[in-house]
Amino acid sequence: MRLPPRHRLAFALVLPLVACGGPARIDLDPASLRFNGAGQVAPVHATPRARNNKALPDQVCRWTSSDEKVAAVAAKGNDAVVTATGPGAATVTCTVGSLKAELGVAVRVVARLTVSPDAVALELTDERVPTPLRVEAFDDQGAPVAGRIVTTSCDDEEVCRGDARGQLWPVGAGASVATVQVDGAKARLPVTVKDKRVATKPKIVKRDYMEDLEKEVQARQAKEAAAAAKAAARP
């Protein structure tokens, strides 16, 4: 059917108005995410915009993740929270009508540890001190990971104990196996302890002695630092 000229003009004026009703693009902030471990979270905000760059807050995103084993998304309107769930790469998408905006998500987790030495020989002396381990962590792509907490523990706590500083403490003579952990990655190594105490009546090692030991070490370090400062202040 052919419209009269005046109707054709009115119809032509309506088309741009309809076209301007939806967004021309969607801005995501941030534009990408990188996580260094499962369980980490980050907020994402979407801003649909018209062709003239005006924000359209009434245009609401529908959020999806291409792989929820890598990244899960929970949203309320145009605000979302992305949670790292496992290693890999995924895409988080905000959809408004037929328009989409995508956010790349990379998740790297600690996958491998190297521990030195690979076997530990501890000595229980009258002055109990910990033995630090050298631990290097690597992600699932083989890249080194720094700044993570290194925890240690022993299968037999009557032989040795661990802490959250990457150290092993001697408790009693014998053999055990220690576990070193950074995030979800673990390494195991054998531990032997020899009793080298020479005091006539050595202190009884109790199961809850860790706090006292750390206080002893800190007190000794503070005393040494004070003595060094006093010596440096002498003319």
Indicate if the pLDDT at residue 24 is higher than 50. yes
- Give me the domains of the chain, ranges plus CATH numbers: 22-107 (2.60.40.10), 110-219 (2.60.40.1080)
Mean pLDDT of the chain: 86
Confidence band, pLDDT 50/70/90 cuts, at residue 221? confident
Q: What element of type H or E holds 69?
A: none
Can you tell me the mean pLDDT for 14-31?
A: 72
Half-sphere exposure of 91 (CA within 13 A, CB side): 7
pLDDT digits over 77-95, tens only?
999 999 999 999 999 999 9
pLDDT band at residue 17 under the 50/70/90 scheme:
very low
Return the pLDDT at 199: 73
Alpha carbons 71 and 85: distance in angstroms, whole number: 5
* Adjacent-strand bridge partners of 76: 79
End-to-end CA distance of the chain: 107
Return the pLDDT at 124.
Answer: 94
Q: What is the pLDDT of residues 94-137, one digit of tens each?
A: 999 999 999 999 999 999 999 999 999 999 999 889 999 999 99
Rounded-to-integer distance, Cα 211 and Cα 112, Å: 30
Work out the pLDDT band at 46, boundaries 50, 70, 90: very high
10 Å CB burial of residue 5 (0-12, 13-18, 19+) is exposed
Residue 232 has pLDDT above 80, yes or no: no
- Return the pLDDT at 18: 38
Q: ω before 23 within 30° of 0 (cis)? A: no
| Residues in contact with 28: Cβ distance below 8 Å, sequence separation at least 6, in sequence order | 44, 45, 46, 47, 94, 101, 102, 103
The reported pLDDT for the residue numbered 217 is 72
- The pLDDT value given to residue 4: 55
So what's the pLDDT on residue 220? 77
Tokens of residue 33, six digits: 């995410």
Do the Cβ atoms of 162 and 152 come closer than 8 Å?
yes
Average pLDDT over residues 54-79: 96
Q: pLDDT value at position 152?
A: 97
Contact 33, 53 (CB under 8 A): no
Q: What is the pTM of this model?
A: 0.61
Sign of the four-CA dihedral 15, 17, 22, 27: positive
Nearest to 30 by CA among 15, 9, 45, 49: 45
Q: pLDDT for 131-168, tens place per residue?
A: 999 999 999 889 998 889 999 999 999 999 999 999 99
Q: What is the dihedral of CA 7, 10, 16, 17, to 10 degrees?
A: -120
